[in-house]
C-alpha cells in the first residue's frame, strides 16, 4: 500500500517515519495539494494533507478520478476540505481530533505575555546594548478580565492557566462548561458583553461561513480602548483590514496571532530572499504592538508525535476496513453550522 504525503515539512518527516510501524510504502512531497500537484496522486488510494492544502471540490473531483479514496488531514481543522463533496463522491476523510490542546493553549499565553511585557522590544534593545525601561512598561495580569471565545479543549486549558494568574474570566460558547465555572470561576456571557468588558480577548473557535470575520468593526467598536486580541484559531475569523484600522487609531492596543487569513504560500516557507508581497501582513509585522508567529503553536515534540501516531492510526483503520474513529462526515458539518447559526460555537481547533 503506497501513501502520498503532501506539504511535508522537514521537521515532521522523522516523526512520520517513526510511526510507520507497518512499513507502508511512503512518498513525501513538499508541494502543497493544488491543481498543479494533483498528478502526483495518480494511482494512489491514500493521501495525507495539511492545513494549507487546497482540497476544494474541483481538486477532490480530480483526486477521485486519479484513484484517491481516502484523505487523512494532519490537523484538527479541516476548513480547507470540501467535506460535503468528499462525502458525496465516497471519498473518506479523517482528521486528528485531539493531539495536544496544551500546546496551543500554552502558546496563547506566551503571546499574551510577550506582548504585555514587550519582550520583542526588550530583545532588540538589549542586543543593541540599550538597557533602558522607557519602552518596556507592561501591566499585571492579576485582576484583569479575560474574554475567551470558545471553551472547548483549548479554551478550557487557557481558562485554567489564566485562573492561576488571578484573572477574572468571562467566556462565550454555545456549550457552557459548568466545570469551568466550578473550578475556575469562569462566567459565561453574551458576545457583546464579553467584547465590552474584557481587557484581553482570546479566540478558540473553528472557521466556517458563520464565523468568518466574526471579529470585525461592529464588535471591535464595542471593545475597551487598548484591548489585547489573541488569535490562535484561524486567520479569517478576524477581519484583517479592520484589525489594522483599529490598531492604527489606537483602539486595539495589542494583537497577537499564530494564524493569518492569507497564510497559504507564506507560512511554512522561507521568504527571506524573495520578500513578502502581502501588504496587510507586512503592515502588521511592522507594528511594535503586534506579534505574528508562523502557525507554530502546535509545534511541540509531544504534539507532533501525537499527530503522526493518530495519522497512521487513521490510515491503518481505513486499510483494515475498521470504523474510522476520526472520520469527518457531512452530518458533523450540518450540526456545527446549525449551532453557529444560533451562536458562535465551541471548538478544540487547530
Catalytic residue numbers?
234, 263, 295
Q: For strands 25-28 and 252-257, give the pairing.
A: unpaired
Residue 313 DSSP SS3: helix
Cα first-last separation, the chain: 29
Count Cβ atoms below 10 Å from residue 21 Cβ, excluding itself.
9
Residue 172 DSSP SS3: strand
Closest-CA residue to 211 (of 191, 241, 196, 226): 191
CA–chain centroid gap for 36, Å, is 26
Main-chain dihedrals φ then ψ at residue 111, nearest 5 degrees: -65, -45
| Structural element, H or E, at residue 231 | strand 227-231
d(CA 279, CA 277): 6
Amino acid at each position: 500500500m503506497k501513501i502520498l504525503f503532501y506539504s511535508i515539512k522537514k521537521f515532521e518527516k522523522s516523526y512520520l517515519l517513526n510511526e510507520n510501524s507497518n512499513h507502508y510504502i511512503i512518498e513525501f512531497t513538499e508541494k502543497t495539494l493544488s491543481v498543479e500537484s494533483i498528478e502526483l496522486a495518480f494511482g494512489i488510494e491514500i493521501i495525507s494533507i495539511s492545513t494549507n492544502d487546497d482540497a476544494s471540490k474541483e481538486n477532490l473531483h480530480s483526486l477521485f478520478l486519479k484513484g484517491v479514496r481516502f484523505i487523512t488531514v494532519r490537523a484538527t481543522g479541516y476548513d480547507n476540505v470540501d467535506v460535503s463533496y468528499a462525502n458525496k463522491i465516497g471519498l473518506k476523510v479523517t482528521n486528528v481530533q485531539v493531539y495536544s490542546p496544551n500546546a496551543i493553549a500554552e502558546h496563547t499565553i506566551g503571546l499574551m505575555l510577550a506582548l504585555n511585557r514587550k519582550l520583542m522590544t526588550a530583545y532588540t534593545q538589549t542586543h543593541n546594548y540599550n538597557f533602558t525601561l522607557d519602552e518596556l512598561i507592561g501591566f499585571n495580569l492579576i485582576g484583569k478580565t479575560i474574554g475567551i471565545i470558545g471553551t472547548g479543549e483549548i479554551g478550557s486549558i487557557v481558562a485554567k492557566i489564566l485562573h492561576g494568574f488571578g484573572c477574572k474570566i468571562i467566556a462565550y460558547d454555545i456549550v457552557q462548561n459548568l466545570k469551568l465555572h466550578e473550578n475556575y470561576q469562569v462566567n459565561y456571557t453574551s458576545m457583546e458583553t464579553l467584547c465590552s468588558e474584557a481587557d484581553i480577548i482570546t479566540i478558540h473557535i473553528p472557521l466556517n461561513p458563520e464565523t468568518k470575520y466574526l471579529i470585525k468593526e461592529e464588535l471591535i467598536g464595542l471593545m475597551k480602548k487598548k484591548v489585547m486580541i489573541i488569535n490562535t484559531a484561524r486567520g479569517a475569523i478576524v477581519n484583517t483590514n479592520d484589525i489594522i484600522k483599529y490598531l492604527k487609531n489606537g483602539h486595539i492596543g495589542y494583537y497577537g496571532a499564530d494564524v493569518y487569513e492569507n497564510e497559504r504560500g507564506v507560512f511554512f516557507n522561507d521568504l527571506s530572499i524573495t520578500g513578502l508581497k502581502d501588504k496587510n501582513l507586512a503592515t502588521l509585522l511592522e507594528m511594535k504592538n503586534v506579534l505574528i508567529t508562523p502557525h507554530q503553536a502546535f509545534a511541540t515534540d509531544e504534539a507532533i508525535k501525537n499527530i503522526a501516531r493518530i495519522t497512521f492510526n487513521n490510515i491503518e483503520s481505513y486499510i483494515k476496513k475498521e470504523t474510522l474513529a476520526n472520520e469527518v462526515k457531512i452530518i458533523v458539518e450540518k450540526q456545527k453550522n446549525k449551532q453557529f447559526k444560533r451562536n458562535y460555537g465551541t471548538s478544540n481547533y487547530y
